[in-house]
Amino acid sequence: MATKPIRIGLVGYGFMGRTHSNAYSQLAHFFDTDHYPVRQAVCGRDEEKVKAFAEKWGFESYETDWRELVKRDDIDAIDICTPNNSHAEIALECIKHGKMILCEKPLALNGEQGEAMVKAVEESGLPNLVWYNYRFLPAVTHAKNIVDAGELGRVFHYRANFLQDWTISEELPQGGAGLWRLDAKEAGSGVTGDLLAHCIDTARWINGNIVSVSAMTETFIKERVHTETGEKQEVTIDDAAAFLARFENGSLAIFESTRYARGHKALYTFEINGEDKSLFWDLHDLNRLSYFDHGVPSDRRGWSSIHCSDGDQPYAGNWWVPGLCLGYEHSFTHALYEFFKDLDDPQKEKRYPDFRDALGTQYVCDAVLESAKTKQWVDVKQS
Ligand SMILES: NC(=O)c1ccc[n+]([C@@H]2O[C@H](COP(=O)([O-])OP(=O)(O)OC[C@H]3O[C@@H](n4cnc5c(N)ncnc54)[C@H](O)[C@@H]3O)[C@@H](O)[C@H]2O)c1
């Protein structure tokens, strides 16, 4: 029975503001934790819109300035759902005011900013999470558990893609609401921090540290009208990025991400090939984990498809009955569950990414961008 309220202050009510609000409303219905989230306040700069959001999603109050929210005595945790260039500033202010932090990914604009966040949060001892949510889909967690059990034997290869096609038009402007991802000042980078960061987090979680990378990036459309100035301005994000990598365990990897793969809306896939087994996962069929076992007699051997919905699959038993599907939104509820269940036990090995873990992903992103610029292999700093 949940008896300990955690009063949440949410900053930003866009796409992630909605997914997190949904997770706050679902958690206590489906998972047993000592702590439970209270939707205490939401912050947005437009009063009419933030008030409407608060009413729709059950927040008890609202603010129009995140600094006021962070100061409030009736808030225990701040959830940062704003564009990437604001994560560090808001997080550092939260730490000053003793608030635990749930921060959207990527942690920061770059490793240097991330280091300051890690230092401050670790000195404060405040619990902290970064929302790399894909880890918490049952099939992805199942893949992690299979690899951790040593079932793959020696791992040789890891490959991941995250493909979209929404920026192909030259008419699409950059900057501002909905389009901040195209402006490097707000986003830090293009697909590297936005999409590859997810692939990198999953890869590091399942297959360990990435030690070196060799990358290429491209900006296909060099100028776009900026929504703030109305003028054409240089585009400085990476529209596409691909990189080769070496893992600490000796395996090799190839990663690709783009917003120019016509026909793909959000095709995130990964595959891992070991001596004894291989695994493959696809976001478009997210309940399934494809599994190849070389130990099966050759005349029966082949790829099988595990529907990760049975009660003995990660998280699945907390929802409906075997065979029924979960979706993208459940990954956020599961992330929240992992964070909440360990709140009273800081020594416990965490299943969720904290700031330090997310800094490791940030370092890989930095190395990718540096390698693309220098056209050299780059060693990845370790967190
Ligand atoms: N985990 C994931 O799968 C995932 C998916 C999408 C986005 N993200 C991350 O979440 C963050 C937000 O992305 P999004 O897609 O929700 O963006 P969005 O544009 O939909 O929403 C951003 C929100 O922040 C608000 N905002 C901006 N500056 C603000 C300020 N100073 N004070 C208060 N509110 C402010 C905007 O008004 C908007 O409501 C980004 O860091 C992004 O990388 C993560």
CA distance 270 to 122: 32
Q: Determine whether the shortest distance from the Cβ of 86 to ligand 1 is under 6 A.
A: yes
Contact 328, 286 (CB under 8 A): yes
Give residue 282's pLDDT band: very low, low, confident or very high (50, 70, 90): very high
Torsion angle of alpha carbons 31, 204, 267, 314, nearest 10°? -30
Q: Determine whether the shortest distance from the Cβ of 43 to ligand 1 is under 6 A.
A: yes
Q: Both tokens of residue 296?
A: 């099966």
The ligand 1 atom at the shortest distance from the C-alpha of residue 134 is 3
Counting residues of the chain whose pLDDT is more than 90, the rounded percentage is 97
CA distance 332 to 9: 17
The ligand 1 atom at the shortest distance from the C-alpha of residue 132 is 1
Q: Is 349 a residue whose pLDDT tops 90? A: no
What are residue 124's phi and psi, to 5 degrees? -75, -25
∠ CA 47-50-55, nearest 5°, is 120
Nearest to 251 by CA among 363, 160, 154: 154
Q: Is residue 226 classed exposed, middle or buried when 0-12, 13-18 and 19+ CB atoms within 10 A define those classes?
A: buried
pLDDT of res. 348: 82
Q: Is 138 a residue whose pLDDT tops 90? A: yes
pLDDT of res. 255: 99
The ligand 1 atom at the shortest distance from the C-alpha of residue 193 is 43
Q: Both tokens of residue 314?
A: 């990660």
Q: How many angstroms separate the alpha carbon of residue 15 from the centre of ligand 1?
A: 7
Q: Determine whether the shortest distance from the Cβ of 44 to ligand 1 is under 6 A.
A: yes
Task: Read off the pTM.
Answer: 0.98
Query: Can you tell me the mean pLDDT for 329-348?
Result: 92
Mutate to test the pocket of ligand 1, among 10, 11, 13, 16 (most ligand atoms within 8 A of CB): 16
Contact 213, 378 (CB under 8 A): yes
* Tens digit of each residue's pLDDT (9 = 90 or more) over 75-105: 999 999 999 999 999 999 999 999 999 999 9
Q: Determine whether the shortest distance from the Cβ of 11 to ligand 1 is under 6 A.
A: yes
Q: Is 1 a residue whose pLDDT tops 90? A: no
Mean pLDDT of the chain: 97
The ligand 1 atom at the shortest distance from the C-alpha of residue 65 is 32
Task: Output the residue whose Cα is nearest ligand 1's atom 33.
Answer: 44
Q: Determine whether the shortest distance from the Cβ of 353 to ligand 1 is under 6 A.
A: no
Correct CATH for 136-379 of 3.30.360.10, 3.30.160.20, 3.40.190.290, 3.50.50.60: 3.30.360.10
Q: Both tokens of residue 114?
A: 């991330």
Q: Both tokens of residue 166?
A: 């929404």
CA distance 252 to 242: 14
Q: Determine whether the shortest distance from the Cβ of 107 to ligand 1 is under 6 A.
A: no
Residue type, 98: G
The ligand 1 atom at the shortest distance from the C-alpha of residue 131 is 1
* Residue whose tokens read 């967190």: 383
Q: Determine whether the shortest distance from the Cβ of 84 to ligand 1 is under 6 A.
A: yes
Length of the chain: 383
Domain positions in the chain:
4-133, 136-379
Q: Is 344 a residue whose pLDDT tops 90? A: no
Nearest to 180 by CA among 193, 170, 168, 161: 193
CA distance 372 to 377: 9
Give residue 345's pLDDT band: very low, low, confident or very high (50, 70, 90): confident
CA distance 59 to 71: 17
CA distance 160 to 158: 7
CA distance 70 to 117: 16
Q: How many angstroms separate the alpha carbon of residue 316 from the centre of ligand 1?
A: 28
Q: How many angstroms separate the alpha carbon of residue 40 from the centre of ligand 1?
A: 19
Correct CATH for 4-133 of 1.20.210.10, 3.40.50.2300, 3.30.450.40, 3.40.50.720: 3.40.50.720
**Three-class SS of the chain:** CCCEEEEEEEECCCHHHHHHHHHHHHHHHHCCCCEEEEEEEEECCCHHHHHHHHHHHCCCEEECCHHHHHHCCCCCEEEECCCHHHHHHHHHHHHHCCCEEEECCCCCCCHHHHHHHHHHHHHHCCCEEECCHHHHCHHHHHHHHHHHCCCCCCEEEEEEEEECCCCCCCCCCECCCCCHHHCHHHHCCCHHHHHHHHHHHHHHHHHCCEEEEEEEEECCCCEEEECCCCCEEECCCCCEEEEEEEECCCCEEEEEEECCCCCCCCEEEEEEEECCEEEEEEHHHCCEEEEEECCCCHHHCCEEEEECCCCCCCCHHHCCCCCCCCCHHHHHHHHHHHHHHCCCCCCCCCCCCCHHHHHHHHHHHHHHHHHHHHCCCEECCCC
